[in-house]
Structure 1
Amino acid sequence: MICTYIRIKKRYILTYVSLLLTFFFACYYFTEYEKYTSPPVTRLGSNAYKKDQPQGVVQALDHGCYLQTSNFSQHQHSEELLAERNCRKKMPVALILGAALSGSATLKSALSFHPDVTVPEFTVPLNFTDIGPFLAKIPYSLPHQITVGESQEYLYMTDISKQMVTPVFPGLKVIILIRDPVARAMSEFLTLKSNSCSEVYRQSISKHLHLLVGTSRYDPHEVVKERSWTGKNSQLYETSPDDMHYNLEDTFQETVLESAQIDPVHFLVQRSIYGSGIRKWVRVIPLQNMLIIDAERFAKSPVETLKIVEHFLGLRPYYHKDFFSFDLPKGEFCFNSPLRSCVEPLPIQKPLPALSDEIVTLLRDFLLRSIKVQNKYANAYFPHLGENPLIYTPFR
């Protein structure tokens, strides 16, 4: 009896000690973890990280391996601090592909605040035959952080294949944001027609920059090729960037119409045929590694969308409803926490010009096949055919 009692007592004592040690180590782990995953907002001018702080900025967030300011610029810590925190450069586990002016930059900005994510400060061109420039722009990250890349041009890449992508990005996940395709085309037209349109944005469109100045659609000496839409191309009007039309006329209608019909090879139209880009990427990565998001839903309910993104990327929940101040019609996309920050809007003419019902109907009918393709791959339904109000404010 006594021996049995002692054994039971010893078992209880060992269990208690084990629980106590587990509790102690858990507290220590989370204390150390929070130092990096929930760093405080640093007021510039204080002693903390003084030599790493950029000048002329009120506040910056210590994101682990760099300070991130309220205008989303990044200022890398000293070599000593990078080594102390075991900062390393990592290849992205996910890419935000676009579509153009459908909120990809805003999504990247939102993810830049997540304590478990790092994002490149600038859009990084991706060339699978020369990955060096891409790697040079990748930020340092803490051991627990993942890197997510972004460019609205990734969706329109033509030179991608499984053999090219898999060795560089094994297990890659991609996020695609799509909006009403008519609104997307119109917002890009207004952006490019703006006198204050960024040259950087223009250059990101295409090597055909010199054609984006309202020049004539046709060269009188050009031999016009007769196009034949057969096979797979008949569904999505796939064409080479070299064969697209890049002219910008006085109005959107004049720009995208050809003989009273939609010009299928105008770049504004081509960039709204989401199904074409989606199908290219489906050939490269497994469908379960692709997340297609309704950009307009993201603008209206950012927390709901970010929860989906967090689950897709395997991140812990971080965002809350007071985090965001989004207004798609006004083109305002701001974050209230942990820093008050706003995505810089693209300037366009105001008031916004109206679109005729005729051109909207023509373009939506033309894009119907693409809508069906994107819904098939997304295994979801996107209300992009007039069920939402037509809001064509640029959504960076």
Structure 2
Amino acid sequence: MTICKYIRQKKRYILMYVSLLLTFFFACYYFTNYEKYTTPSVTRLAQGSNAYYKDHPNGVVQALDHGCYLQTSNFSQHQHSEELLAERNCRKKMPVALVLGAALSGSATLKSALSFHPNVTVPEFTVPLNFTDIGPYLAKMPHSLPHQVTIGECQEYLYMTDLSKQMVTSVFPGLKVIILIRDPVARAMSEFLALKSKSSSKVYRQSISKYLHLPVGTSRRDPHKVVKERMWTGKNSQLYDTSPDDIHYNLEDTFEETVLESAKIDPVHFLVQRSIYGSGIRKWVRVIPPQNMLILDAERFAQSPVETLEIVERFLGLSPFYRKDFFSFDLSKGEFCFNSPVRSCVEPLPMQKPLPALSDEIVTLLREFLLRSIKVQSKYANAYFPHLGENPLIYTPFR
């Protein structure tokens, strides 16, 4: 009787202690499984499966089930089993859109952002386009679910010379094109810094060489050679195509020494050529309808990624997906990270440090030379772009 009487007298305190104890246990269980409840689409690759191991605080890499493959936090794609691919009706498709972009203007970063959209798939690696043999190109596309669209990316698409309307429409009917551009002087300087860096990626150097057909960094074959006058006369002279045999590839100690020849801008240096966006834009306008082309400001993308991605979503007819808290971008530092749905960062390109300053004279000379190209791109962009000189020159390479 004494014990029962005691319990009746203290039952309020006993119930309170039991409630606290149960709350404690439930809280521990919830936080232990927090990731499971808050991000159900995010999976941790397990032992015994097709696990992808890398140095990581927890020993594994976080991965997103993107339908036909797992996408890890370092943007690697791990295809599901053939059985699961068949069960989900996964197929390889030709891209409905291509992301071009002036070199070091963020096309790869935009592709990385699009890779998280639930209705989009992108190839893991850049795929060169050969219109005469499309089979290998399709083979390198990722599998996708029936409702997903494939989007390709390659900065070199902007510099293609063998474009024809019949060729493009036969392979990509209804193709849409997204072009990223940035201040052409900053872009040229960014590429110079990336190539001059001692830690410059061999892969990046080789990708440039592949376009140029000769190794980057070689001296001019004939520094006294006069470029054919017919190629550089008339009001459209700065938009003319240049034969790879005429392009200069030298990299001197300074940017000024590299792009100047006899105190004038060297019109056939590859750093200058790759900043003449108007030429590439005009070629694409000739093969696709204007309404199928979207030209974006790379600096604006780095400053406000969600705003740019919302424009891309509307252009491609995608459902809204991106939020401001998904991103952490800083162009000046070269930091481009995604906080959701998987925490991941785009590996920055190396650059020479400390950053050298450009003289006002070289900036003025290069901008005057590129003015015609700027007018052409503005004509087709059908949108406001900051005028040259409005933004501070940020030389950071933007992958």
Alignment of 1:1-396 (within 5 A): 40-45=41-46, 51-56=49-54, 57-207=60-210, 208=212, 210-213=214-217, 215-219=218-222, 224-228=226-230, 229-230=232-233, 233-396=236-399
Residues 200 and 349 of structure 2 are in contact (CA less than 8 Å); yes or no, is this contact kept in structure 1?
yes
Tell me if structure 2 keeps the 8 A contact 1:39–1:61. Answer: no
Identity %: 84
Residues 202 and 209, structure 1, Cα contact 8 Å, conserved in 2: no
How big is the shift at 1:235?
A: 4.5
Q: Which whole-Å CA distance do the structure 1 matches of 2:133 and 2:40 have between them?
A: 35
Return the offset for 1:55: 3.0
CA distance in 2, matches of 1:378, 1:82: 40
Query: What one-letter code is carried by the residue in structure 2 that aligns with 1:194?
Result: S
Secondary structure in structure 2 of the residue aligned to 1:325: strand
Conserved 8 A contact 1:42-1:61: yes
- Please list the CA deviations of residues 275-308 of structure 1 after superposition, one character each: whole Å capped at 9, or x if unmatched: 0000000011001000000000000000000000
Contact 1:237 1:265 in 2 (8 A): no
Q: Which amino acid aligns with 2:216?
A: L
Q: Distance in 1 between matches of 2:305 and 2:227?
A: 46
Deviations, residues 40-62 of structure 1 (Å, cap 9, x unaligned): 1001227xxx6343233321100
Counterparts of 1:113 and 1:181, CA distance in 2: 29
Secondary structure in 2 matching 1:113: coil
Q: Give the distance between the partners of 2:315 and 2:63, measured in 1 at CA.
A: 28
Following TM superposition, by how much is the alpha carbon of 1:194 offset from its aligned partner in structure 2, in angstroms?
1.4
> SS where residue 95 of structure 1 aligns?
strand
**In structure 2, distance between residues paired with 1:54 and 1:171:** 37
Distance 2:186 2:120 in 1: 31
- Residues 303-322 of structure 1: per-residue CA shift (max 9 Å, x gap): 00000000000000000000
User: Equivalent residue of 2:229, what SS?
Assistant: coil
SS of the aligned residue for 2:99 comes to: strand
Aligned equivalents of 2:62, 2:225: Cα separation in 1: 58
Does the 8 Å CA contact 2:188/2:274 hold for their aligned counterparts? yes
Q: 1:66 to 1:232 in 2, by over 3 A?
A: farther
How many angstroms apart in 2 are the aligned matches of 1:176 and 1:204? 19
Q: Is the 8 A contact 1:39 1:64 kept in 2?
A: no
User: How far off is 1:202 after superposition?
Assistant: 1.4
Which protein has the larger Cα radius of gyration, Structure 1 or Structure 2?
A: 2
Per the TM alignment, residue 206 of structure 1 is displaced from its structure 2 partner at its CA by 3.2
1:239-273 per-residue CA deviation (whole Å, 9 max, x = no partner) reads 12332111111110001001101111111101101
Shift of 1:210: 4.8
Q: Any gaps of 5 or more consecutive residues in structure 1? A: 1-37
1:52–1:76 CA contact under 8 A, matched in 2: no
Distance 1:39 1:98, change over 3 A: farther
SS in 2 for 1:128: coil
Q: Over residues 29-85 of structure 1, what are the superposed CA-to-partner deviations in whole Å (9 max), with x where a residue is unaligned?
A: xxxxxxxxx961001227xxx634323332110000000000000000000000000
C-alpha separation in 2, matches of 1:268 and 1:86: 45
Separation of aligned partners in 1, 2:278 and 2:79: 39
Q: CA deviation at 1:370?
A: 0.7
SS at match of 2:155: coil
Superposed displacement of residue 384, structure 1? 4.2
Maintained 8 Å contact 2:227/2:246: no
- CA deviation profile, 1:14-34 (whole Å, cap 9, x unmatched): xxxxxxxxxxxxxxxxxxxxx
Measured after TM superposition, the shift of residue 198 of structure 1 is 1.4
d(CA) in 1 for partners of 2:51, 2:287: 41
Residue 333 of structure 1: SS of its match in structure 2? Answer: strand
Alignment TM-score, normalising by the size of structure 1: 0.86
8 Å CA contact 1:246–1:266 kept in 2: the answer is yes
Going from structure 1 to structure 2, the CA distance change for 1:75 and 1:232 (only over 3 Å counts) comes to farther
Say if 2:238 and 2:276, in contact at 8 Å, map to a contact too.
no
1:313-341 per-position Cα deviation (integer Å, ceiling 9, x unaligned): 00000000000000000000000001110
Structure 2: runs of 5+ lacking an equivalent = 1-38, 55-59
Query: AA paired with 2:200?
Result: C
- Relative distance call for 1:338 and 1:232 in structure 2 (3 A) is same
| Larger displacement relative to structure 2 (322-331 or 192-201) | 192-201
Residues 97-118 of structure 1 deviation map (CA, whole Å, 9 limit, x = unaligned)? 1111000000000000000000
Aligned length: 354
Partner residue in 2 for 1:30: none
TM-score normalised by L of structure 2: 0.85
Q: 1:227 to 1:211 in 2, by over 3 A?
A: farther
2:307 is paired with a residue whose SS is helix
Kept in 1, the 8 Å contact 2:131–2:167? The answer is yes
Equivalent position amino acid for 1:312 in 2? F
